[in-house]
Amino acid sequence: PTFPMAAIVCLAAAAASALPAETKPASVHSHPARLKPVHEAVAPMREAACGPARMDRVGGATGRRGVMHHTAKLAAAAALLVQGTTREGQAAAAPRALSDVVSKIPGYGMADLFFPSYFKGKWDCISELVDIQMPSGEELVPNLSEVNNLRRFLGSPETLLRYNQTYFSFRDQVIADRGINTRAARNALRFDGENKEWYMPLREREPITDVTWDPANPNFLSYTAPEGMRYEVLVTKRAFEKPNPNVFITSEVVRQTQTDMSQMQAPVVKQVKDQVKYRYIPGSDPPTIQAILISDVFLTPQDARLEDYIKAGNKPVTVYRTRILMTKAD
């Protein structure tokens, strides 16, 4: 549930819902089998009183002159950080100093999402898509048939997905392993409500390839899907807050570029704002986190007519709401 997980998971669920029964293989057990039955596992999520997170404005300087002045001061501070060390030390310190400087430039946001220490490790996640809204009207939704098809399955087992998410320590902070997590979400298991078992669609057993992600530069991720689509994902804004020790709220704006490598066509650009509210359950055994994920999908000039883009303005055209149950797996 970090990075563009909503877009990945929701669209994967839509694809799974369209699969004919004969394409579903026997169940697979690549995840820990110690979880409760799915109807018991998902029940607590229905009772979670989690509201939407908010996106905070980042940076205090306003206007081009203010931003440039603020950035110049930060760059000078970064230079001081790497002075007075050996050449080898400067080479090692420079990337981190540059990353810290960029994170403080107004409009760029924080260097990454820094999670509470209890996130560290591997988690077994079950997600349930519970609601889809079209606040700007159906006429502005470019993939309306796909969205309507997915809405038909709300409240049914076909919207359940199961996948792993991993968090690790980097530079004294706990962050999400976005490379591993993207692989896991793209290969999520589906739930067969009739046979009461998890399965992986045959056409999705081929993993994504060429995954590029660097924790020192966490804003960019790219990968190639089996069907030949190349995805490049860029985080343009982020914020997080911790209202109390057991609640953690994150917000990221992500721009995803999708390029069909087999055709000479212009890339498809999408912009998604993911907001997640995590609630850690104290004393749970194994450790458990409940979360609510709200994904706002916006029009871009590339995927809409100019008049539709202007009409939508700053409002999302599609809003997905997903509940997630995370259980510690290691």
pLDDT digits (tens, 9 = 90+) for 167-222: 999 999 999 999 999 999 988 999 988 888 888 876 556 778 889 999 999 999 99
**pTM tops 0.85:** no
Please choose, from the candidates 183, 237, 177, 235, the residue with its C-alpha nearest in 3D space to the C-alpha of residue 209: 183
In a 3-state reduction of DSSP, which class is residue 178? Answer: helix
CB contact at 8 A, 52 and 273 = no
Query: Is residue 135 scored above 80 in pLDDT?
Result: yes
Q: State how far the Cα of 307 lies from the Cα of 297, in Å rounded to an integer.
A: 18
In a 3-state reduction of DSSP, which class is residue 43? Answer: helix
pLDDT band of residue 29 (cuts 50, 70, 90) is: very low
Q: Which of 32-36, 164-168, 256-260 has the lowest mean pLDDT?
A: 32-36
In a 3-state reduction of DSSP, which class is residue 126? Answer: strand
Mean pLDDT of all residues in 96-109: 48
How far is Cα of residue 330 from the mean position of the Cα atoms in its chain? Answer: 22
Q: State how far the Cα of 251 lies from the Cα of 240, in Å rounded to an integer.
A: 6
Q: Which residue has the tokens 């997590």?
A: 181
CB contact at 8 A, 4 and 254 = yes
For residue range 228-280, what is the model confidence (pLDDT) as tens digits? 889 999 999 999 999 999 999 999 999 999 888 777 777 888 899 999 999 99
In a 3-state reduction of DSSP, which class is residue 73? Answer: helix
Look up residue 167 and give its amino acid: Y
Number of H helices, E strands in the chain: 7, 12
